[in-house]
Chains A and B, each alone.
Chain A
Amino acid sequence: MTPRKVLIKEFIGDLPKNIFSGFVVSLIALPLGLGLAMASEAPPIAGVITAIVGGLLVSFFGGSHITITGPGNGLVGVLLVAITTLGIEGAYAAIIFSGVLLMILGFLRLGKLANFFPSSAIQGMLAAIGLIILGKQFHIMLAHKIKREDTMDYLIEIPFTINDAIHYDSKGLIFAAIVGTVSLFIMFFYPKIRNKYFQLVPAPMWIVLLSIGLSYYFELVLHENNPIDKNYMISGIPHIDEIITKIPKIDFSQWATLDFWDSVVSLTLIASIESLLSIKAVDKLDPKKRRSNVNKDLKALGLATVGSGFLGGLNVVTVIARSSVNVNNGGSNRSSNFFHALFMLLFIVLFSSEMARIPLPALMAILVFTGYKLASPDTIKKVFSIGKEQFIIFFVTLIITLKVGLISGILSGVAMTLIIHIVINKNLSLFTRNLIKPNVLMYKEESGNGSFFVSVKHFCSFLNYYKLKDKLDAIPEDRDVVLDFSMCEFVDHTVMDNISSYQELFAKKGGNFEIIGLDMHDAESKHPFALRRLLTDSGLIGSNLTKRQRDLIQTSDRFGLEYHAEKNREISFLYDFHYFNTKQVNYIYNRLSNDNNSLNLFDVEYFEGELIAKEVIRSTMLHISLNDEIPSFTLDKEGFLERVYSLAGLKDIDLKDYPDFSKRFYLKGDDEEGITNFFGKDLIQFFESNNYYHVQADGAHLLIFNKERLATIKEMKILLDFGKRLKEVIETKTHTTSQTERNTEL
């Protein structure tokens, strides 16, 4: 079979799963679509149109695999502003324009744009959006519709609304408030109920089904009118014929006004950020480990937005919650997005009259819950745990977004981050001088299995993260990557956050992604994503352990070793080795040792040269104490020895019996006879069949290492294993020789 045929067969095989998954997603998308549209003060059907147009178009033209598209949470705030200032017809025009802008972004390959915003600022913006949704809908949920100028006022008035709700005397309002409250409870407690059958229907659909059921109960069983107040019933759901025949009028007359463009830019900004964040997050969930084509997706989203705007829908974005439901229900390719749209269309055609039975408070409860999720106390706690400075950025963005608007909010978040970075580093020139420098170097290490080495210089923050991202994106995820920050003075939270998702991605796809050179950076908090600044010189290693250090703790547990992170200046034992004759050891740190201290694996910082010619080197080495004396020797390959010029006095030893070995390795030492005797068959075989390391022996101790840089966890494990086995080989050997010696004496 040709590859194409295989693909088609696979596609058809996966179809039932995707149809089912599309169905489940449509169950959530329907109430959410209605609710999100109403929260934006658009006709409720607009949300459904958005999902249908988005699903149908993006599933054909998009570049991602398992995402679901439709109306987004983040856009509610912006759409609300657009619709109130421009009117719904003007807003459609703004939506169409923003769709065009999105397409342009896609064509210009600006998918990386989202990386220019600091993580905490984005968090703050999302939290603000959450509060906007929550603040406004909370009142409707409790059947207490109010209209205020300022978003803050909605939030402040929540207690008053609760108080009013308790004292309602109209039956219609009481019922409405009860339905809203019960619905909110369902949203909150749904995830806690682990019943297979109950979980078959998603929470929002339960709410819809229950409230429609309630309405039928009153009508058919009690023969009464629906007790819920008429004002709090969903209204304006047109029949499918009306949707087709009555395409809304679009008003382009305001195109020259500032308000119009403010809306267009905000819509584009939020739509692209929400989509890009979602795509990135969903890619991590993909069971088939595919990489989304972000720019192609942007183009498709733009196209869908234009179409949706003309048909009376809203902006089409990629949505994370619905996408993850899609993955959980077995969606494996774009057809699930298509079917989700198809089912929504079916619902509208078949059940549009039933939808009028849904009470507003029930829908709003779903939105209040989404809003709460965006601005939950957990999010705030998490930001705070990363660092006080992140909290300041988060809070500033949040307040300004609420008070002024989205664009001002995110811009002030960026400005705040910049100021904080400058203050923390007490250095402006670090940023100005190095901003445009191409500070990332990547190459494939020729030795070993060809892992990719990426070194970052100067600083790495949201300002220049895209340079690092470009390089990292060009590495297949099933390879080994070493990311070295030792030449980087400052790494910010945005970078740490993003890097950690790379680590996850590489781990999932069979690669290995390790960060080195961060152990010397100080952090303000204990969070792994806290920003880090290079310490010039202080005795203490910060209280915050890096990922590498925490991995070291795990490794030490697995190997039955003890871990000591702190700097240790008892380093005299190192000077016994020739290698350190011309070097000055500063300290060792990140030490792993066994019970009787006969085995020590550590990072060491030492200097080569003196004064102005001084160079700082950090390396990882293994020190082993042996039970018996062995002759001193140095074993090496690759002319590494030439670096160690102080060895000049030592003799080159040629093992006559093992010409191959002598050709491959440089063996040096004083005691030629002793060494020749010592290097027996077993030992030669061991060295020939294992990884290459630089090995030095000084009597009863061995020092083993191979690179003049810090080793990754993987490399350390291999080094440990090598050392242990070498020790065994040597000890069985010396043991047997001493026995034979004893035998001859007898």
Chain B
Amino acid sequence: MNYFNTIGIGIAFSPTLKANLYEASRLALFFKSKLVLIHVGIHSHRKEKDIQKILSPFIEKNLDFEIVFKVGDPAEVILNVIQEKRLDLIILGALKRENILKYYVGSIARKITRNASCSVLLLIKPSVERVPCQHVVINGLKDEKATKTISYGFFVGSKLGASKVTVVEEITQQEVAVNVNDDRSLRRANIVKERISIREKSRVIKILEETPEEFKKNIKIKTQPIFGRRGYSIGHFAEVVRADLLVTNAPDKLTFLDRLFPHDIEHILTELPTDVLIIR
């Protein structure tokens, strides 16, 4: 089974070009998928040559790739190519805040992330040398897409050779619904939390049973309930456990208000904890 038949990456002739191309090609080989390189700009043989030169070690390994040249607004162009080529995954690079180790998603990438019809992989530190992916954290949030998110997460984890996957259930204060005032309410709140944790755990275990066996081979699976704000705390958790990849699902629709009062995915976009894969 393969979830990602075609993957794409937008490229510009920047200092990180080589790192970006290497990361994308490696992923394409891991997933056994076709790689579409999207360059916003005019076609030239020189550019094509340059790209092919960088890709040569991967071409030797039979990388299936295609270069698309198109002029226009970068975000628009990439979104169009996603539609046209029926991409399953688009890879985007993150930016680093000056002199501190914090990453965020630039305006173009953000627009693509919000509007893309396919899954999005945000890389915080593309590198030429492979950095092994050891620990994948998956958002096991309860919604209709949870099953999909989890099986995609395991698919990616197994392809990248991860040794450990943690499925996180975020439990919000609203769910606990007991305000801690005194000893009695504290006890009650903890009982409720324990109950929710167990319930969530059994829900996730059930989903895990449905996940194809081949993706779970050689992977140590853990589940972890965390208490915090939805969408944000999982990023924090991924940072604390130093995960290499965070897999989460996309919110249904982002309105203007969502941007004004950031929540869910928007928090992660302003502050990438690690590489993030958003499943659609």
Least CB separation from B190: chain A residue: A476
Chain B contacts with A in 139-173, Cβ cutoff 8 A: 163-164, 173
Point out the residue from A290, A455, A470 that lies within 8 Å of B182, measured CB to CB: A290
Which stretch from A381-389, A592-600, A635-643 is at the chain B interface? Answer: A635-643
User: When chains A and B are docked, how far (Å) is the Cα of A438 from the Cα of B242?
Assistant: 19
A457 to B273, CA, bound (A): 11
Q: Which residues of chain A (436-451) have a CB below 8 Å from chain B? A: 437-444, 446
Asked if B229 is at the interface of the complex by the 8 Å CB criterion, the answer is yes
Digitize A133-171: 1 where CB-to-B-CB distance is under 8 Å, 0 elsewhere.
000000000000000000000000000000000000000
Provided the pairs A292-B182, A476-B190, A639-B163 are in contact, do residues A613 and B131 lie with their beta carbons within 8 angstroms?
Answer: yes
Q: Does B58 contact A (CB under 8 A)?
A: no
Binds B, one of A39-47, A293-301, A562-570: A293-301
A643 touches B134 (CB 8 A): yes
Q: Which of B227-241 contact A (CB under 8 A)?
A: 227-229, 232-233, 236-237, 239-240
Q: Is the CB of B226 within 8 A of A291?
A: no
A615 and B229: CB pair below 8 A? no
- Give the shortest distance, in Å, between B53 (CB) and chain A (any CB): 23
B129: chain A residues within 8 A (beta carbon): 610
Partner of A645, one of B132, B185, B222, B271: B132
A441→B233 contact, CB < 8 A:
yes
Docked complex: B7-45 residues within 8 A CB-CB of A:
none
B241's nearest neighbour on chain A, judged by CB, is A708
- Residue in B181, B189, B222, B240 whose beta carbon sits within 8 Å of that of A455 in the complex: B240
B16 nearest CB neighbor, chain A only: A612
Is B224 interfacial (CB 8 A cutoff)? yes
Which residues of chain A are near B182, meaning CB under 8 Å? Answer: 63, 290-293, 296
- Which residues from chain B contact A222 at a C-beta distance below 8 Å? none
Docked complex Cα distance between A438 and B227 (Å) = 11
- Map CB proximity to A onto B197-228 as digits: 1 under 8 Å, 0 otherwise: 10000000000000000000000101011111
Q: How far is the CB of A589 from chain B (nearest CB, A)?
A: 20
Contact of A441 among B125, B164, B236 (CB under 8 A): B236
Partner of A476 from the list B127, B164, B186 (CB cut-off 8 Å) is B186
Q: State the CA gap A127–B201 with chains docked (Å).
A: 53
**Could you tell me the distance in whole angstroms from the C-beta of A183 to the nearest C-beta in chain B?**
41
Cβ-defined partner of A443 (8 Å) among B185, B187, B224, B232: B224
| CB proximity of B102 to chain A, nearest CB, Å | 10
B70 CB-CB contact with A under 8 Å: no
B131: chain A residues at CB < 8 Å are: 609, 613
- Does B267 make an interface contact (CB < 8 A)? yes
A612→B125 contact, CB < 8 A? yes
- Category for how many chain A residues contact B: 35 or more
Cβ of A109 within 8 Å of any chain B Cβ, yes or no, is yes
- Bound Cα distance A441, B132 (Å): 27
Q: Is the interface of B mostly helix, strand, loop or mixed?
A: mixed
Given A442-B227, A443-B225, A642-B163, A615–B181 Cβ distance below 8 Å?
Answer: no
Enumerate A288-322 residues with CB–CB distance to B below 8 Å. Answer: 290-296
Pick from A440, A617, A643, A708: contact of B163, CB below 8 A: A643
B170-184 to A contact mask, C-beta < 8 Å, 1/0: 000100000111110
Interface status of A404 (Cβ within 8 A of chain B): no
| A309–B132 CA distance with the chains assembled, in angstroms | 71
- Residue pairs across A and B with CB atoms within 8 Å: the count is 85
A441 and B163 contacting across the interface, CB-CB below 8 Å: no
Q: Name which of A609, A612, A615, A643 has the most chain B CB atoms within 10 A of its CB.
A: A612
Would you list which residues of chain A between 471 and 518 have a CB under 8 Å from chain B? 471, 473-474, 476, 484, 487
Check B228–A615 contact: CB distance below 8 A.
no
Set of chain A residues within 8 Å of B185, measured between Cβ atoms: 293
| A residues near B197, Cβ cutoff 8 Å | 444
Q: Within the assembled complex, what's the spacing in Å between the Cα atoms of A446 and B228? A: 17
Contacts of A643 in B (CB 8 A): 134, 163
Residues of A within 8 A of B227 (CB): 442-443, 471, 474
Q: Once the chains bind, are A438 and B228 in contact (CB under 8 Å)? A: yes
Instruction: Tell me how far the C-beta of A639 lies from the nearest C-beta in chain B, rounded to whole angstroms.
Output: 5
Map CB proximity to B onto A525-536 as digits: 1 under 8 Å, 0 otherwise: 000000000000
Question: Does A708 contact B132, Cβ atoms closer than 8 Å?
Answer: no
Across the two chains, which residue of chain B brings its CB closest to A438?
A: B229
B163 touches A487 (CB 8 A): no
C-alpha gap A290/B183 in the complex (Å): 7
B236–A457 CB distance below 8 A = yes
Asked, given contacts A441-B240, A643-B163, A645-B132, whether A474 binds B226 with beta carbons under 8 Å apart, the answer is: no
Q: Which residue of A lies closest to B194 (CB)?
A: A444
Candidates B179, B187, B233; contact of A438 at CB < 8 Å = B233
From residue A579, how far is it (CB to closest CB) to chain B in Å?
A: 14
Considering residues A470, A476, A617, which has the most beta carbons from chain B within 10 angstroms of its beta carbon?
A: A476
Given contacts A645-B132, A708-B242, contact A443 B186 (CB under 8 A): no
Q: Is the CB of A442 within 8 A of B222?
A: no
CB distance from B126 to the nearest CB of A (A): 8
**Inter-subunit contact B237/A441 (CB<8 Å):** yes
Q: In whole Å, how far is B212's beta carbon from the nearest beta carbon of chain A?
A: 21
B250 to chain A, nearest CB (A): 20
Known: A441-B237, A476-B190. A613 touches B127 (CB 8 A): yes
- Contact between A484 and B183, CB atoms less than 8 A apart: no
Contacts of A455 in B (CB 8 A): 236, 240
| Residue ID in chain B nearest A479 by CB atoms | B190
CA distance A374 to B131 in the complex (A): 60
The contact of B226 among A63, A442, A473, A638, by CB within 8 Å, is: A442
Q: B240 CB to closest chain A CB, in angstroms?
A: 5
Most buried by B among A291, A443, A642: A443
Identify which of B220, B225, B233 contacts A444 (C-beta below 8 A).
Answer: B225
Point out the residue from B132, B180, B220 that lies within 8 Å of A474, measured CB to CB. Answer: B180
* Contact across chains for A617 and B222 when beta carbons are under 8 A apart: no
Asked if B239 and A474 make an inter-chain contact with CB atoms under 8 angstroms apart, the answer reads no
Give Cα distance in the complex from A615 to B103, angstroms. 14
Least CB separation from A473: chain B residue = B180
The residue in chain B whose Cβ has the minimal distance to the Cβ of A433 is B270
Whether B242 pairs with A615 at a CB distance below 8 angstroms is: yes
In Å, the complex CA distance between A34 and B240 comes to 57
When A290-B183, A296-B181, A440-B228 are in contact, do A612 and B127 touch as well, CB less than 8 Å?
Answer: yes
**Contact A293 to B233, CB < 8 A, known contacts A487-B240, A645-B132:** no
Q: Are A293 and B240 in contact (CB under 8 A)?
A: no
Cα A290 to Cα B226 in complex, Å, equals 27
Which of A439, A470, A471, A474 gathers the greatest number of chain B CB atoms within 10 Å?
Answer: A474
Within the complex, the shortest CB–CB distance from A582 to chain B, in Å, comes to: 10
Which residue of chain A is the closest to B168 with respect to CB atoms? Answer: A443
Question: What A residues does B239 contact at CB under 8 A?
Answer: 457, 487
Q: Please give, as numbers and ranges, the residues of chain A lying within 8 Å of B226 by CB-CB distance.
A: 441-443
Interface string of A627-664 (1 = CB under 8 A from B): 00000000000110011010000000000000000000
Closest to A65 in B: B182
Q: Is the CB of B183 within 8 A of A613?
A: no
User: How far does the Cβ of B160 sit from chain A's closest Cβ, in whole Å?
Assistant: 13
Docked pose: A441 CA to B164 CA in angstroms: 21
- Given A438-B232, A446-B224, answer yes or no on A474-B183 (Cβ-Cβ < 8 Å): no
A291 near B183 with CB under 8 A, answer yes
CA distance A609 to B124 in the complex (A): 14
Interface residues of A in 557-583 (CB under 8 A from B): none
Q: Which of B163, B189, B267 has the most CB of A within 10 A?
A: B163
- Closest residue of A by beta carbon distance from B96: A612
Q: Which 3 A-B pairs have the closest CB atoms?
A: A438-B229, A642-B163, A293-B182
Interface residues of B (CB under 8 A from A): 125, 127, 129, 131-132, 134, 163-164, 173, 179-183, 185-187, 189-190, 197, 220, 222, 224-229, 232-233, 236-237, 239-240, 242, 267, 271
Q: Beyond the given A294-B181, A295-B181, A441-B236, please list 5 additional residue pairs across the A-B interface where CB-CB is below 8 A.
A: A444-B225, A446-B224, A455-B240, A473-B180, A612-B127
- Pairs across A and B, CB under 8 Å, 18 listed: A291-B183, A294-B181, A438-B229, A438-B232, A440-B228, A441-B236, A441-B240, A442-B226, A442-B227, A442-B228, A443-B224, A446-B222, A446-B224, A484-B240, A609-B131, A638-B220, A639-B164, A645-B132
